[in-house]
Amino acid sequence: MPNAQWAGMAPHAPCPIPMNYKSLIKIAEAYCLEGKLKEAIATCQEAIRANPNFAPAYNTLGNVLQANSQFQAAVRAYKRSLQLSPNFFPAWANLGGLQERQGYLDEAIASYQRAIAIAPQEARLWEDLGKARCARGDLEEAIACFRHLISLQPNNSSAWEQYGDLLQLNDELDEAFTCYCRALELKPDSAETYIKIVTVLAQQGKLTESISWCQKALSIYPELALGIAGAAVGSVGSVGSVGSVGSVGSVGSVGSRARSAHRTPDLEIDLTSCASSVEANNLKLKTLSNSQFPMPNSQCPMPNAQCPIYEIHSECQFPLVPPKVISGELSAKLPKPLQRKEGKSPPGFVAVIPNGRAWGDRFNSVVMTADNSLVAELCTGFGKVPLFFCLEKPPPVTRIDGTVAFFSVQSGADFYYHWLVDVLPRWELLRRSDRLDEIDIFIVNDVSKKFQQETLQALGIPAEKIITSKTHPHIQARRLIVPSVPSTAPKWAGDFLYGPPRWVCDFLRNQFLPTAPLSKGGWGDRTDLPERLYIPRHGASHRRVINEEEVIEFLSNFGFRSVTLESFSVPEQAALLANARIVVAPHGGGLTNIIFCNPGTKVIEICSPRYVLSCYWAISNHLGLDYYYLEGNRPANSRSDSEVIAPRTMPRYSLYEDIVVDIGALRELLSKVIN
């Protein structure tokens, strides 16, 4: 609904008016607030009949029509208001709001700018303009709008918080932290702001500070612990025999797991005192090597009797070829994640933790030693890691009397990308450390998806040795073996490029390309495999391409075939991509398969203007692929992370926003690729 602030405001210029027009407008606005839209429309029309030249009456009528989803009629009402009074800024503001709602961002921005030219001291206009610019992906301009808004309203806590959100989106994390702190000063009871501070500090790798703020948040809002502990209620089972209800489950002997596995009754969790203190609970941050990488060579453990470390791959630095765009290879035109000139990959190692504990869910993974030290380099999940660490009463734990390999990572349960480049390569690190034969139990996020089942089988992991974090999120093992996180290493471990290291690409190619003959899907003969592929997102619930049919039809004119990769096995997907010469796709898990492309393959990645990652660019650099970046547009009513149920501690990226592809821009870039 349009902003009530712009409802019945009269223009500055006086005009002769009949009696009762004010009361009619107020009655119409009251009807609208009550949801009586027919009555509100009739009352506006009555006011207009009484005075056809009264601009605010048309503005109010436009608001009511917009609330009734009569958008074209609302546009006509606003424009009539502006014909009568061109300097009536509320009508410009409401017209801009409707245009933004319909996805006409350029027109909306122009309307807001007209309103601001008339009333530059109206703070809300700067907020509206900033949001529209952000929706279009113009973060620098949006930030400038909110900076001006704060100059007008320096004590507006919401403005400071939104300003921080924009800075966070623009990867200006220090400045975002400052804004959130100012917002908290103005509104000290905001749990949401506390969590944003925890998250932005974790994103910077400032884990100790993040934990400190998390303690403050939990001391004021202990219900925040429900985000972690609540996930365990009703899902924690046991393996083998059961310990006392209300404390822990246990495992008798690992060998009996397949015969005696069963569920325990749901365990109740006491959440009345989740506020926590690191000192009170004897919790410590543990750095595996005093933050100094690389670690000792190969099979030599560190001189740490409690947690020996075995390095397999050293930290690696490498140059980056800039992405290509329509206007040429101008990095200044690229979003920040694609502006680096060189990248750095994390070391690959294996940690052995006696009586270690591990937690895994959809959004984070946490590893701790027997003395409650957090093994920071092995954790994933940004702000949720401090939240778990600070719990005074952790969720019930399943004890396993054996040697357990823990592979679960953030997003490993749902996303093909994280499964391939984070979960599976941990098996390779374990193999390279000569410890596969020691493992009694392997723990992964989930095994419900086809690609999870077939890849675990390809690695030779027996099904009877696998349990999942989905059913056993919190475990403690007599001997916990945890390979490092290969591709999504936490920021507190170092400033690594987001994307898999070269060794991960080589491992996946060696594992799946030799077994990649394609035997179904209409391409029984490899000579018939398409060389130009479009990877659609038909079945995706988010980050969809709104005009995908138009994109597919356009690309078909250049010999592209749309291939739904999910209908093929992983080796078959590898075969398809190994044969491809040009690949076009929106950002998504399907692009992970460019790992199987041959050097020289051209890759066009289409991204939302507010969600750009470096992972596929990194893969292209490792493998000698020719990478092109195309920015999509954000459609009207696109889903954003605030509209999707997700942990409050997740980064506030626009992960879920849909995309509209500009066919003209795609044509221009494709001509550059083909030529």
| Whether the predicted model's global pTM rises above the 0.85 cut | no
Q: Identify the pLDDT of residue 228.
A: 55
Residue 22 is encoded by which pair of tokens? 């004010």
Q: Identify the pLDDT of residue 601.
A: 97
Is the Cα dihedral 303, 308, 310, 315 positive or negative? negative
Supply the DSSP string of 128-171, one letter for each residue.
Answer: HHHHHHHHTT-HHHHHHHHHHHHHH-TT-HHHHHHHHHHHHHTT
Is the Cα dihedral 25, 26, 29, 31 positive or negative? negative
Q: Identify the pLDDT of residue 435.
A: 93
Question: Which of 521, 508, 482, 264 is CA-nearest to residue 376?
Answer: 482
Question: Which of 355, 400, 353, 357 is CA-nearest to residue 256?
Answer: 400
Q: How many CB atoms lie under 10 A from the CB of residue 257?
A: 19
Q: Identify the pLDDT of residue 81.
A: 94
Question: Residue 187 burial (CB < 10 Å; 0-12/13-18/19+)?
Answer: middle
Residue 596 is encoded by which pair of tokens? 């199987």
Q: Identify the pLDDT of residue 269.
A: 23
Q: Identify the pLDDT of residue 149.
A: 97
Q: Which parts of the chain register pLDDT below 50? A: 4, 8-19, 230-287, 289-305, 329-332, 520-522, 524, 638-653
Distance of alpha carbon 33 from alpha carbon 91, whole angstroms: 19
Domains of the chain: 4-175 (1.25.40.10), 226-319+347-495 (no CATH), 506-674 (3.40.50)
HEC string for 171-237: CCHHHHHHHHHHHHHHCCCCHHHHHHHHHHHHHCCCHHHHHHHHHHHHHHCHHHHHHHHHHHCCCCC
Q: Identify the pLDDT of residue 288.
A: 52
Distance of alpha carbon 261 from alpha carbon 268, whole angstroms: 21
Residue 7 is encoded by which pair of tokens? 């409802």
Question: Residue 521 burial (CB < 10 Å; 0-12/13-18/19+)?
Answer: middle
Q: Identify the pLDDT of residue 517.
A: 61
Which three-class secondary structure state does DSSP give residue 628? strand
501: Cβ–Cβ under 8 A, 6 or more apart, which residues? 313, 316, 345, 346, 348, 486, 487, 622
